[in-house]
Amino acid sequence: MTLFSTPTASNPNNRRGPFQTIKFMKMADGYNNARALRVAEIMADFRNLQYYIAQIQANPAPEDYYLEGYSLLRACVAEAQAILASPYAYGVAEHPQGDPETEKSQLQAVIIDASVRRFQCQRCYLRAVAGLRWMHGRNTILGGQRPHAGNAAQLQAIDIALRTEVAAVTDEQVEYSLRAQDTAQGKWLDEDPSLSLIRQRIRRAT
């Protein structure tokens, strides 16, 4: 019997979160081991994305609190927390009978659920990166001072750059970034959900 226990952002080593422990004992069509490995890979990506987003530190002055870059960063952190807290929606993730066909169905469902979460976190992460770039650029321009007429054009330019970068984080771009990474690493992607299915699951959950 092989056992995978899924990690979370708060404890990347071995704490159960929205994905529960997955057990499998035999293979239905010869691919259950590959499916279980794929689940572990996707959840590792999810854990890393959660970790990066949780490390975001943005402490603006009160008068800057509602600037769009800072608002974006807060929204990304809150969204990542909500994704982590959302329950697994596809039944009980454990089948002690060890029936290979049941295990196959379970693993396929978890691949979809994990892929949706990873997609959402990747989108959140890319938007957060844009927000962090804006924040660092703004701090560099200000140099510890307050905005004034002399740096107004520079500040406006990084505001525009932020909007442009965030607008470029489309669903297609998010999927491409994940697929390109997976392909470059030679991962088994035969049962990864399509973008249309991911969108469908996200709409269903909202």
Burial class (CB in 10 A: 0-12, 13-18, 19+), 51: middle
Name which of 168, 165, 143, 141 is nearest 155 in CA terms.
141
Per-residue tokens: 131 = 């927000």
Q: Tell me how far apart the alpha carbons of residues 14 and 4 are, in angstroms, rounded to a whole number.
A: 9
- When comparing pLDDT for 149 and 2, which is higher? 149
pTM confidence score: 0.84
Q: How many domains does the chain have?
A: 1
Q: Which residues pair with 22 in a beta bridge?
A: 4
Name which of 180, 191, 176, 54 is nearest 114 in CA terms.
191
Secondary structure of residue 80 in the 3-state scheme: helix
Q: Tell me how far apart the alpha carbons of residues 6 and 15 are, in angstroms, rounded to a whole number.
A: 7
Q: How much of the chain exceeds pLDDT 70, in percent? A: 82
pLDDT of 88 reads 85
Instruction: Count CB atoms within 10 A of the CB of residue 37.
Output: 16
pLDDT of 93 reads 53
Q: Give the model confidence (pLDDT) of 26-72 as tens digits.
A: 446 789 999 999 999 999 999 999 999 999 999 999 999 999 999 99
pLDDT of 99 reads 84
Q: Which residues pair with 15 in a beta bridge?
A: none
Determine the average pLDDT of the residues in 135-156: 97
Q: Give the model confidence (pLDDT) of 77-110 as tens digits.
A: 999 999 999 998 765 555 546 688 999 999 999 9
Q: Any idea which residue has 């691949």 for tokens?
A: 111
Q: Tell me how far apart the alpha carbons of residues 19 and 81 are, in angstroms, rounded to a whole number.
A: 15
Sign of torsion over alpha carbons 39, 40, 45, 50: positive
Does 111 score more than 60 pLDDT? yes
Expressed as residue numbers, the domain containing 65 is 2-205
Q: Any idea which residue has 């530190």 for tokens?
A: 57
Per-residue tokens: 164 = 């442009």
Lowest mean pLDDT among 20-29, 87-96, 149-158, 172-181: 20-29
According to DSSP, residue 63 is labeled G
Q: Tell me how far apart the alpha carbons of residues 202 and 196 are, in angstroms, rounded to a whole number.
A: 10
